[in-house]
């Protein structure tokens, strides 16, 4: 009864704080959990649900999906910063007389593309870099949001808003920097969302904050959910997080980097299934010994230790 009472309490709290639809989805996912576990433990079912079915649906017009690529607006400021950053231009970036160094960008990121108002975009970025509230008083539809973000700078209670590397999203052929394609499915079995959702939100998850900074430091990024209609020649390498429930796609000729975290060989047959058909050149993981012990890796796969919670 204690377990049941605890579940009821959680649902009541969720209904009050998150609303009906969030709670309803949580209930449905909980009821479907036995079926999901059954699929994850059976390699044949995994091949059907993540390989055969999605490919068949893609051939039927009414079920056909696009790549669902993450697109952000590109302002003049964002384009200038991208050119400055990825072209390795020496010196500091001039923001209307304010000098922003490359170290400033490495630590705090660039302008937030989600702001379409140039005044908001400038004041939020400068507040973030200087770590103090430099909001420029004005009126627009984004001013209230901008003012709140500016007020969080310099406050250690809001460190997740002290950096933003969304300027790296969107690959351009003209920029002299590597181009990365991240193929990350939406984790429909997770109420909080999977890698795709965490990638685009400023949560207090240190590993994603560090990962976003490292990625922006070395390359431009496109991130998609569905591996369909991809022109592989537009990219230098592919990054794929192995969640054991990735949609199967044609293995490209460019380099594949896989990230592996949890290691459950008995409960998650999809992890080994994905390794077998993708055969990555590089496996990044915080647990190299466990992955080498529990999974069969290709001889061409190089295991690289990746401490996801440490900055460079």
Question: Can you tell me whether residue 241 is helix, strand or coil?
Answer: strand
**Model pLDDT, residue 33:** 73
**20 token code pair:** 């009906």
CATH 3.40.50 in the chain: give the residue spans: 169-305
Q: Which residues of the chain have pLDDT under 50?
A: 1, 189-192, 310-312
| Phi, psi torsion values for 48, nearest 5 degrees | -70, -50
Run of H or E including 238: strand 237-241
123 touches 150 (CB < 8 A): yes
Please name the residues in contact with 290: beta carbons below 8 A apart, sequence gap of 6 or more.
263
- Taking the C-alpha atoms of residue 228 and residue 250, their distance in angstroms, rounded to an integer, is 9
Strands of the chain, DSSP E: 93-95, 98-100, 179-183, 220-224, 237-241, 255-259, 282-285, 302-305
- Residue % of the chain over a pLDDT of 90: 58
Nearest to 227 by CA among 281, 182, 276: 182
**Model pLDDT, residue 312:** 39
- Taking the C-alpha atoms of residue 239 and residue 183, their distance in angstroms, rounded to an integer, is 6
- Taking the C-alpha atoms of residue 220 and residue 79, their distance in angstroms, rounded to an integer, is 12
Kindly report the pTM of this predicted structure.
0.84
Residue 240 vs residues 259, 279, 292: alpha-carbon distances, Å = 6, 11, 18
**Model pLDDT, residue 25:** 72
User: What is the dotted CATH code of the domain comprising 169-305?
Assistant: 3.40.50
Question: Can you tell me whether residue 206 is helix, strand or coil?
Answer: helix
How many residues are listed for the chain in this entry? 312
Question: Can you tell me whether residue 84 is helix, strand or coil?
Answer: helix
């Amino acid at each position: 009864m204690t377990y049941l009472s605890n579940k009821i309490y959680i649902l009541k709290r969720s209904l009050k704080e998150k609303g009906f639809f969030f709670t309803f989805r949580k209930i449905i996912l909980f009821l479907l959990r036995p079926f999901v576990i059954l699929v994850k433990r059976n390699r044949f079912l995994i091949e059907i649900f993540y390989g055969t079915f999605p490919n068949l649906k893609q051939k039927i017009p009414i079920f056909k999906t696009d790549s669902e690529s993450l697109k952000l607006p590109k302002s003049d400021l964002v384009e200038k910063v991208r050119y400055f950053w990825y072209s390795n231009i020496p010196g500091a970036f001039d923001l209307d007389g304010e000098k922003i160094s490359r170290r400033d960008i490495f630590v705090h990121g660039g302008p937030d593309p989600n702001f379409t108002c140039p005044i908001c975009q400038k004041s939020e970025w400068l507040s973030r870099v200087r770590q103090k509230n430099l909001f420029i008083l004005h009126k627009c539809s984004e001013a209230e949001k901008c003012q709140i973000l500016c007020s969080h700078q310099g406050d250690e209670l809001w460190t997740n808003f002290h950096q933003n590397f969304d300027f790296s999203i969107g690959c351009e052929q003209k920029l002299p920097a590597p181009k990365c394609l991240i193929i990350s499915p939406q984790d429909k079995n997770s109420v909080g969302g999977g890698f795709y959702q965490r990638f685009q939100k400023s949560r207090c998850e240190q590993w994603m904050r560090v990962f976003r900074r490292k990625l922006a430091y070395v390359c431009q990024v496109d991130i998609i959910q569905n591996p369909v209609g991809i022109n592989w020649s537009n990219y230098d390498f592919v990054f794929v997080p192995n969640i054991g429930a990735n949609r199967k796609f044609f293995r490209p000729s460019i380099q594949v980097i896989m990230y592996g975290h949890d290691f459950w060989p008995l409960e998650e047959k999809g992890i080994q299934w994905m390794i077998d058909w993708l055969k990555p050149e590089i496996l990044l993981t915080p647990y190299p010994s466990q992955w080498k012990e529990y999974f069969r890796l290709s001889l061409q796969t190089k295991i690289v230790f990746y401490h996801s919670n440490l900055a460079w």
